[in-house]
Amino acid sequence: MVEHRMVDVNGIRLHIAEQGEGPLVVLLHGFPESWHSWRHQFAPLAAAGFRVVAPDQRGYGRSDRPEDVSAYSILHLVGDVIGLIHALGEERAFVVGHDWGAPVAWHTALLRPDVVRGVAGLSVPPPFRGERPPLQAMRERFDGHFYWNYFNLPGAADAEFGKDTRTTLRKLLYGASGDSPTAGRYEQALVADLERGWLADSPDPETLPDWLTEQDLDELTDSFARGFTGALNWYRNLDRNWELTAPWHGAVVSPPALYMYGDRDLVPAFPGTPELIAALPRSMPNLVRDPIVLPGCGHWTQQERPAEVNAALVEFLTGLRG
């Protein structure tokens, strides 16, 4: 059974969900999600002999959400993971991330390989430091309409998303899923109308896809009862992260690694992302196998294809444990 508690980490309190005994596996969610996005992974990983812990990361769910925007930099987020591992009484752990959780997982492995036994990323490959600040690059490419830039307009996305939290989340989850008519086409799904908002023309399904229940949507809606600002602050650190990670420009992820994504996911279609995926053997020299591509799967990898994700994670983790 999944149990819940609060843990003090780096001067803030994080809510965690946990199950099982054995080597520690930390599961890191993305946007707009919570620990609940890993609901299908707890029992299989615990049954395979692992201690599974999924936090609400800072700014999300029941965890603390500092007011200072700069408190959401990649160094803070990696610090939370390392602090959580140690607060749980462990020296090392496996780290798995999806969406925004994937960059946190990759950077945890990059910055603290001594702590990471193995690292897996879902959807987002290592987005390591490019030649230009990311907000600037996307502003020039999409004339300021890319959703990263929209999220950086003071209060704009906060207000739009907060008008009707449940509808916002339903549109976001459906729109980036493999069931959406815009699946895999970022030009339509990820470019915002700066006057009408990002979700103005997003599809809103009459019935939820099979992988998402009304109860799941209830749980996620409750987790955003305090608004979206904490979560959006992650995007407001994209250029700051580019500056902070300058010392690691060109560095590689040395722990054993696994990457998987859906073939209808928006992220692999981002500008420059196919090149990142092709370069994985260089950026992750201990990649245990070629990237796993899940047919028909959209962005919400572990929710849309839990059986395939669980099988791949169990194989990866047990191989390294042994």
Burial (CB < 10 A; 0-12, 13-18, 19+), residue 57, is buried
Q: For residues 91 and 76, what is the distance between their CA atoms, to the nearest angstrom?
A: 19
Catalytic residue among 29, 36, 107, 299: 299
Which residue in 20, 103, 19 sits closest to 57, CA to CA? Answer: 103
Q: For residues 74 and 109, what is the distance between their CA atoms, to the nearest angstrom?
A: 12
Which residue in 169, 138, 132, 133 sits closest to 151, CA to CA? Answer: 138
Q: List CB contacts of 18: < 8 A, sequence separation 6 or more.
A: 2, 3, 4, 5, 51, 52, 53, 54
Q: Distance of CA 59 to CAs 94, 117, 202, 216, Å?
A: 23, 26, 25, 20
99 included as an active-site residue: yes
Catalytic residue among 56, 64, 80, 99: 99
Q: For residues 12 and 275, what is the distance between their CA atoms, to the nearest angstrom?
A: 37
Which residue in 49, 60, 56, 127 sits closest to 94, CA to CA? Answer: 49
Q: Does 32 sit behind a cis peptide bond, omega within 30 degrees of 0 on the bond before it? A: yes
- SS3 state at 318: helix
What tokens appear for 293 in the block?
């591509």
Which residue in 282, 320, 278, 251 sits closest to 109, CA to CA? Answer: 251
Q: For residues 262 and 302, what is the distance between their CA atoms, to the nearest angstrom?
A: 10
- Look at the block and give the residue holding tokens 């907000």: 135
What residues are annotated to the active site?
A: 99, 299
